Amino acid sequence: MRQTTLAAVLTAMLASLTAGCASPQARGASTVPSAPVTRADMVARLLVAAEQAANGPDPQPRRLAEALAALDRLGARPAPGATDSLTDPLPGWRTSVPDTARPAMRGRLLGPAYRRGLLEPGATTTLAQLFDGGRQARVAIAAASGGPLGIAVLDGTGKPVCPVRQGTGSQCSWVPPFSGRHHIRLSNPGAMRVAYYLVIE
């Protein structure tokens, strides 16, 4: 019951934080039909809302603080290798909101891992990721600027477990039958460089 309540509260907060935040390109872009919001998808969208609150033409410290608090409640953490301000901007955002204290993570399960990235027009990038067999796997992506991105997930044999999806925000959920390496393929079909957040759970 408590988990359901938390999900409802965070979903309402996400709707409030992201209302009117989408870029003009994103507002005009086609999106994937709506699907149930997963924790990974929620983290991806909260990261975009936090970036827009921190770096928009009219910075909004209060909205940034709310987004950071929601990310903490979800247990969001940087992905391995996300060690600088480009791939993990949260430390810098926290310093700009001094009254926002990060809650202690001791005793909590860590949640989805995030990474910020940039993709040039027409470019494709592939990231390798290990997933455990028999456990729900989730991947979500949200564009912080620019147009829509394509995302697909392939198993170790190259078989698609998540067919190509395109939009400013997309997610994929599946249960791998066996533990193994998968490949997350991102593509930018547009004419603009795209900043994005990739979230893996």
Which DSSP string do the residues of 21-71 spell out, in sequence order? TS-HHHHHS--PPP-PPPHHHHHHHHHHHHHHHHHSSS--HHHHHHHHHHH
Q: Provide the pLDDT for residue 166.
A: 77
Residue 29 has pLDDT above 50, yes or no: no
Residues 197, 200: Cα–Cα separation, whole Å: 10
Say how many domains are in the chain. 1
Crossing angle for the helix pair 2-18 and 61-73, to the nearest 10 degrees = 150
Cβ proximity of 199 and 180 under 8 Å = no
SS3 for 185? strand
Distance of CA 59 to the CA centre of its chain: 21
Q: How many CB atoms lie within 10 A of CB 88?
A: 18
Range of the domain at 15: 2-200
Residue 88 has pLDDT above 60, yes or no: yes
**Cβ-based neighbours of 113, under 8 Å, separated by 6 or more:** 76, 77, 78, 79, 80, 82, 199, 200, 201
Read off the pLDDT of residues 106-142 as tens digits, 9 standing for 90 and up: 434 568 999 999 999 999 999 999 999 999 999 999 9
When pLDDT is averaged across residues 52-78 and rounded to a whole number, the result is 90
When pLDDT is averaged across residues 171-189 and rounded to a whole number, the result is 92
Q: Provide the pLDDT for residue 22.
A: 44
Residue 184 has pLDDT above 60, yes or no: yes
Extract the tokens encoding 31: 């999106």
81 confidence band (pLDDT: 50, 70, 90):
confident
Q: Give backbone dihedrals phi and psi of 106, rounded to 5 degrees, phi first.
A: -60, 135
Nearest to 25 by CA among 48, 4, 6, 41: 48
Query: How many alpha carbons fall within 13 Å on the CB side of residue 65?
Result: 9
Q: Provide the pLDDT for residue 106.
A: 42
SS3 for 139? strand
When pLDDT is averaged across residues 53-72 and rounded to a whole number, the result is 90
Mean pLDDT, all residues of the chain:
80
Q: Higher confidence at residue 27 or residue 156?
A: 156
Residue 82 has pLDDT above 80, yes or no: yes
CATH number at residue 126: 2.60.120.380
Read off the pLDDT of residues 140-175 as tens digits, 9 standing for 90 and up: 999 988 778 999 999 989 999 988 787 777 888 999
Residue 59 has pLDDT above 80, yes or no: yes
